[in-house]
Structure 1
């Protein structure tokens, strides 16, 4: 079926109506306002557009001369009637671009529930997925060219409403930034749910490799082979332990071999080129300064793996005076895309995409504040006009001998002491309760077992005599020595309840050898400053604050082999001893941004 002979629009089935209404109820959305039709279409991408793509593989489009490729898509058109029974136009057009197919469950939360509330939705598959023509799916590489071409084609159609927006989470959020970077005309709103704008910074920004993309590529490869009976997020969670084993390469293999073993087939050419530094993925940082006049909603979770990039997006848009909303809830990557987010997303469309005279605007409750933040300690929502941690007071806590965390230096200058642990890459310190892409991430996992391990240092306060509310990014300064330069540092701050159970609040990671911070044996300790992830958390009276220092967090980050060999191809492993100094002029400490 070509773009010149589109299939006719079809009505919703009775089963679809029931499913959509149950889904809307589960999301907490207001009731449906209309029915809608469903039409399978093909979107032509002319050669002048896909020639701009960074892929170099030959297309296999359905056109005989292969001068275009075609993207599979579904158009959801609402059937709106006035009180007099006259047909009414949609409230606006929403474009959604996805690599995960066009069927259930994705279509429900990204298209059908909005079509049933007055919005026309064009749900388009990415190149090489869901029946779209073109080369194999190459994440990020084609999204700028294909997204802008799709937007241009959409705006030329008779059914286009003259105003459009985009929505979606994770990769679908990335696709919004990519499309907006080249197609801004008549764009009114973006709804960014837990999405990145810079894949390289996310994967290699610490100097070590975050293997979430390995897990994701494995899930997508299984999906393409028909070997995945679970959607990608569930597949990634199900196979997380296996990935940790494969990337550890216990048999003496390299990381490259371990990745191939996990994925179960030859590594995709684009992925091999990306991880070896032969090719860069597109970066959409510049678009943050280009979306003038576009209202942007950013939704994140305190346990989401893209939290840092979400904060960067908000800060840059806010700095430029853009219309931007920020919601950060007690969620992980998947739960950030749940019911409450869907409610805020619909309200954002009603506020910024729907016409000024639309009935939905009269019924719309005003957003209480541009910024809504969940305090993980008090378990309550905070409403703010803007995110501002500049008024926070730096409260210093010192890492002392015998695992103590105190507000004064207990060890005098003449009695400066040290604590040590050994990191063994053959048995790397495991990831417990950290943010990843898998479905289960986001639970407040008990990380008490991590503090009890021999390959970490743990420093804990006495029970607090008053609440301590932290808002911002904690900073840890360690006077630190390693037995040889090739080492990593993993630091987290946890909340310890009165019953001894602890949960991580903020974390940071750095590969020392990659960033020039390695210290040879015998070298005098110097401070290494590590900025942890942003948080809002009230440590309640009677709880304790804990700092955990480790040499790894496998498999949130791929272990450091300690050999200094190439990250991808090295096979030698070598243990490293970490030493942290206390007291005197070498007083390792934690700085907490505390607000009243």
Structure 2
């Protein structure tokens, strides 16, 4: 195994080659998170016969002009998230194919932002630069997808954390937001949100530009024209879970595989509620086996994959979906409530206040008489009014388990702009569930006007929440009989599958 430093243009690049003379297929990982952190992964690929090429994206780490970098002196350009990945990835792909150790075949791979780098290369590069297969984990499809929900509501805390850690700087500080919050617990409450960089104490010119990105859905639309095999890996507890599944559904290449486990953004390193021993998949080994079959053309055509059933320690085919199920909801309180941005419903707290002003509408089911396997999309349908011209409606579904624990199952949020006081009916999509709920579980449904700090507070005035400097309360009324929770439940215990077999066949 041999490691060499290289410069592709002005981009710092490490190449780890297998033992032997080659030539070899290559795996390309372009990352903003420091290429040296990927060396164990690169060595793993090399041990299995792949040339691993790991590169710092423009303006980051060794590609930022710092002393001692493995490239010619001089700036490689400023770090502008999502701006240069197609251009730089194209140049790198062509460079790989000219190397004597390359057999011309490339797998573009990556997780989170690095998955975005792989995707734009697969979808938008000229044909001579496109990879032969693409492997994406928890993919950040694009700026608009990461910044907003499909309904347009702003994802605040996740984006603030990422930009504080990585935005407009040549290196990273993963503790930046936590340190700032420790110094000022109300950091995310200060207005306007667009001036957050001032409170962080450094320049972040790309922060306001992020919120001007509204063209959501383009990567998924372009996926229909894909020409390469895809392996998409996601976590049911990851904020990009729905985007990962949508990419798989839309993929037009010769084969598409999906692996979705009970994990967070860190996948198997971040197991979530319901994760069991069967869900501890060796992803590195699976990636290698899939890449070999993808490059050899040995994958069956079409969409396949595996979906973990949380709480049951088993896997199901990725296409599994239950029959419609609508549990009876009992109104506990709050058919009329006030969404007060000064005291918003917190996204990081499942407790429901027993005293004080009513800040949400609260429903619950009776205890489940038997175990339910809830698999498929979930949504809330409701009828309600707001006395403000703009209103967010957040729906949170919580499982109150027989052991006394509360587990968040799903959250959805939509923005409604309409004349004050006009009653309308609409749906709040909660995403896809895959969870075994034991007998005795009660479901709690909360409907509120905020889900903060995960999402920015709607000022209720019709102004942009990112630039608004004034917030006002919003009085809400919900028609209890018009509230319905739609779930999908498997009619009988499912037959398990082997996730590796589903991904590799």
TM-score, normalised to structure 1, is 0.71
Indicate how the Cα distance of structure 1 residues 147 and 240 shifts in structure 2: closer, same or farther if over 3 A, else same. farther
The equivalent residue for 2:186 is 245
Deviation of 1:221 (Å): 4.5
Question: What residue in structure 2 maps to residue 22 of structure 1?
Answer: none
Shift of 1:283: 4.2
CA 1:377–1:237: 2 relative to 1, 3 Å: farther
- Out of 82, 86, 96, the position equivalent to 1:154 is 96
- How far apart are 1:135 and its partner, in Å? 2.2
Matches within 5 A, 1:151-300: 151-180=93-122, 181-185=124-128, 187-204=131-148, 205-211=150-156, 212-221=158-167, 224=170, 230=173, 232=174, 235=176, 245-249=186-190, 253-257=191-195, 259-268=196-205, 270-276=206-212, 283-292=218-227, 294-300=228-234
| Preserved CA contact (<8 Å) 1:166 1:189 | yes
Which SS does the other structure have where 2:282 is aligned?
A: helix
Distance in 2, matches of 1:281 and 1:330, equals 26
Partner of 1:409: none
Deviation digits for residues 64-111 of structure 1 (CA, Å, limit 9, x no counterpart): xxxxxx11101111113xxxxxx4543x111111112221x33223x1
Structure 1: distance between partners of 2:451 and 2:412: 10
User: Distance in 1 between the 2:226 and 2:413 partners?
Assistant: 32
**Deviation at residue 118 of structure 1 after TM alignment:** 1.8
What is the CA–CA distance in structure 2 between the aligned matches of 1:506 and 1:520, rounded to whole Å?
28
Match of 2:285 in 1: 343
Aligned position for 2:69: none
Task: Indicate how the Cα distance of structure 1 residues 448 and 137 shifts in structure 2: closer, same or farther if over 3 A, else same.
Answer: same
Counterpart Cα distance in 2 of 1:578 and 1:343: 52
In 2, the alpha carbon distance for the partners of 1:262 and 1:325 equals 43
The answer to whether the Cα contact below 8 Å between 1:244 and 1:554 also exists between their aligned partners in 2 is no
- Secondary structure of the 2:198 match is helix
- Gapped runs of 5+ residues in structure 2? 64-74, 271-280, 492-505
Instruction: Specify the alignment match of 1:402 in structure 2.
Output: 332
Structure that is richer in strand per residue: 2
CA RMSD of aligned residues (A): 2.9
SS at match of 1:95: strand
Deviation digits for residues 396-424 of structure 1 (CA, Å, limit 9, x no counterpart): 23444335xxxxxxxxxxxxxx7122221
Distance 2:402 2:412 in 1: 25
> Distance in 2 between the 1:428 and 1:191 partners?
39
> Unaligned 5+ residue runs, structure 1?
1-35, 45-69, 81-86, 404-417, 434-446
8 Å contact from structure 1 (residues 208, 510) kept in 2: yes
Q: 1:184 to 1:494 in 2, by over 3 A?
A: farther
SS of aligned partner of 2:341: coil
Partner residue, 2:450: 552
CA distance in 2, matches of 1:175, 1:264: 29
Could you tell me whether the CA contact under 8 Å between 2:397 and 2:445 is conserved in 1? yes
- Alignment pair present for 1:382 and 2:315: yes
Distance change >3 Å, CA 594–CA 450, structure 1 → 2: farther
Question: Residues 73, 241 of structure 1: CA spacing in aligned structure 2 closer, same or farther, 3 A cutoff?
Answer: same
Alignment equivalent of 1:120, drawn from 51, 58, 74: 51
Shift of 1:245: 2.4
Conservation of the 8 A alpha-carbon contact between 1:451 and 1:458: no
Shift of 1:241: 7.0
Shift in CA distance, 276/296, structure 1 to aligned 2, threshold 3 Å: closer
Give the Å deviation of 1:286.
4.4
In the alignment, the residues of structure 2 paired with residue 538 and residue 564 of structure 1 have an alpha-carbon distance, to the nearest angstrom, of 41
Q: 1:503 to 1:382 in 2, by over 3 A?
A: same
**Equivalent position to 2:238, from 285, 288, 304:** 304
Q: More displaced, 121-130 or 447-456? A: 447-456
Is the Cα–Cα contact under 8 Å of residues 493 and 546 in structure 1 kept in the other structure? yes
Give the distance between the partners of 1:157 and 1:273, measured in 2 at CA: 38
Deviation at 1:38, TM superposition (A): 1.0
Equivalent residue, structure 2, for 1:324: 256
Alignment match, 1:131: 62
Mean alpha-carbon deviation: is it higher for 143-152 or for 175-184? 175-184
CA distance in 1, matches of 2:234, 2:408: 17
| Deviation, structure 1 residue 248 | 1.0
CA contact (8 A) 1:198 1:285 kept: no
8 Å Cα contact 1:481/1:578 also seen in 2? yes
Would the aligned equivalents of 2:180 and 2:200 in 1 still touch at CA under 8 Å?
no
Change in Cα spacing, 1:175 to 1:240, as seen in structure 2 (3 Å) is farther
Larger radius of gyration between Structure 1 and Structure 2: 1
Q: Secondary structure at the match of 1:554?
A: coil
Residues 221, 296 of structure 1: CA spacing in aligned structure 2 closer, same or farther, 3 A cutoff?
A: closer
Which secondary structure state, in structure 2, belongs to the residue aligned with residue 284 of structure 1? helix
1:594 equivalenced with 2:489 (yes/no) = yes
Q: d(CA) in 2 for partners of 1:330 and 1:112?
A: 27
Partner of 1:529, secondary structure, is strand
296-305 or 545-554: bigger deviation: 545-554
